[in-house]
Amino acid sequence: MGMAIAEKILARHCERKSVEPGTFIEAKVDITLGNDITAPLAIEEFKKVGGGKVFDPDRVVLVPDHFTPNKDIKSAEQCQILRSFAREQGLSHYYEVGRVGIEHALLPEEGVVLPGDLVIGADSHTCTYGALGAFACGVGSTDLAFAMLTGKCWFRVPETIKFVYKGKLNKWVSGKDLILYTIGDIGVDGALYKVMEFTGPVIRRLTMADRLTMCNMAVEAGAKSGIIEPDKETIEYIEARAERPYEIIHGEKSARYAKVIEYNCSKIEPQVAFPPLPSNTRPISRVGEVYIDQVVIGSCTNGRIEDLRISAQVLKGRKVHPRVRLIIIPATQKVYREALSEGLLETFIDAGAVVSTPTCGPCLGGHMGVLAEGEKAIATTNRNFAGRMGHPKAQIYLSNPAIAAASAIAGKITSPEEL
């Protein structure tokens, strides 16, 4: 019996000819990642066990992105721990304010994560990197500490569910809508501790930005990882930025899947996830009258230049509703600069939006857009749990950038078609 791509990557990294779902393995990792929330605990554990030097200063990545620029003394102290450790260890991948970006947008952009890699990160959305043909997953801070010391991590090999997307995308439908539709179909535990392998003719036509968005939200269905086999689009993206050699890995035709699920994308409208779960989805035609107070466009899910271009296309020549606050957060400094050079920031400001420095910020209710009791927001982020963006009695709706931008103008959740 052949192996799916995720199984092949895991087998290569534990030096076995093959692995089967359910097997426990210890595997070598290519990249270990921590941020300003999760890495301080990992660093503390690293030092507790007498860790002197990390296994490889080029493979340990620290990205202070959640509460930066520092919002208070505590967050400043958290980032200081990362900064000191990075200097002490001589880490080549530490990103200071002014050069930083949201980690899961930054690492692909910088060519740090590559096809065939095994990547772990003390952040649940580490699964984003599966879009490059890597096996990537979130781990706890203690697992990160062990990996920083040894270059290894343990895994139980997950089963793979294959998702096949056929047909043609409708107008304003993006990778965000495909993954929201999928989560709405299978539920927040529909892929629990499994790999979600996205394939089919529609996936092959998606941009890398849309692929990254889809893999980013695999964890919202309970998945261990999301993955897309590399193709011409992947290689073109990687060749322009890869910082080291890499290996393209493909699954085998005889691979066994836990399940195969097919979707006809011609029937999929833009999706909106209602609170309090990403699985609580409705097509835009069935949203009804939902008035909003705030819109956030950004995050590791939808803060790339392609997302900002779509948003600017909808906003150009229009004004944000007087009752609405529109916050736009480019995911990295390069995205910010590109948006500036293309005139997108001028479009946003003319419309009445505010543009932030790259940060996770409001996505986790950290800063730069926290909600008060009773407020409603639509966001291009990945989670809408109660309290996720501020007050537990605030409500969060999830959508793609086009829907979010149109909603900012209308003052209620709507499609660009309705403007």
Strand intervals (E) in 83-125: 93-94, 118-121
Angle CA 208–299–89, to nearest 5: 90
Closest CA to 315 of 399, 404, 398: 404
Based on the fold, state whether residues 307 and 355 are members of the same structural domain: yes
DSSP labels, 308-363: HHHHHHHHTT----TT-EEEE--SBHHHHHHHHHTTHHHHHHHHT-EEPPS--GGG
Give the list of residues 6+ apart from residue 50 with CB closer than 8 angstroms, or none: none
Average pLDDT, integer, range 349-357 = 97
State both tokens at 320. Answer: 């944000």
Name 417's Cβ contacts closer than 8 Å, sequence gap at least 6: 171, 172
Where is the domain boundary, 230, 262, 294? 262
Give per-residue pLDDT as tens, 8-29. Answer: 999 999 999 999 999 999 999 9
Give the contacts of 217 (CB within 8 A, at least 6 positions apart): 176, 179, 180, 183, 226, 278, 301, 382
Average pLDDT, the chain: 97
Q: Write down which residue in 262, 289, 319 finishes a domain.
A: 262
Nearest Cα residue to 119 out of 25, 226, 30:
30
Q: Mean pLDDT throughout 91-98?
A: 96
Residues 239 and 276 in one domain: no
Q: Same structural domain for residues 276 and 251?
A: no
Kindly provide the residue ranges of all beta strands, DSSP E only, lying in 68-174, ordered along the sequence: 93-94, 118-121, 135-138, 152-156, 159-166
pLDDT digits (tens, 9 = 90+) for 241-298: 999 999 999 999 999 999 999 999 999 999 999 999 999 999 999 999 999 999 999 9
Q: Is 51 within the bounds of a domain?
A: yes
Q: What is the mean pLDDT of residues 333-360?
A: 98
Amino acid code (one letter) for 214: M
Q: Residue 377 belongs to a domain with what CATH number?
A: 3.30.499.10
In a domain, 287, yes or no: yes
**344-351 and 333-341 helices, crossing angle to 10°:** 80
- pLDDT for residue 285: 98
Q: Determine the residue type at 70.
A: N
- φ/ψ bin of 110: left (φ > 0), alpha (ψ from -120 to 50), beta (otherwise): alpha
Same domain? For 82 and 162 the reply is yes
Same domain, 404 and 256: no
Pair 256, 289 in one domain:
no
- The reported pLDDT for the residue numbered 128 is 98
Confidence (pLDDT) at 15: 93
Are 102 and 216 spatial neighbours (Cβ–Cβ below 8 Å)?
A: no
pLDDT band for position 93 (50/70/90)? very high
233 and 363 both lie in a single domain: no
Q: How far apart are CA 80 and CA 99, in angstroms?
A: 16
- pLDDT attached to residue 80: 97
353: containing domain = 271-413
The 10s digit of each residue's pLDDT in 354-388 is 999 999 999 999 999 999 999 999 999 999 999 99
Are 81 and 41 in contact by the 8 Å Cβ rule? The answer is no
pLDDT at 1 over 90: no
Residues 172 and 205 both lie in one domain: yes
Count of domains in the chain? 2
Q: Which of 209, 213, 228, 129 is nearest to 178 (CA)?
A: 213
Q: Which of 207, 240, 262 is the last residue of a domain?
A: 262
For range 128-139, the mean pLDDT: 98
Calpha distance 401→268 (Å, rounded): 16
- Phi, psi of 52, deg, nearest 5: -95, -65
Of the candidates 163, 168, 167, the one whose C-alpha atom is nearest the C-alpha of residue 215 is: 163
Same domain, 288 and 390: yes
Q: Are strands 194-199 and 159-166 parallel, antiparallel or unpaired?
A: parallel
**361/311 Cα distance (integer angstroms):** 19
290 and 236 in a common domain: no
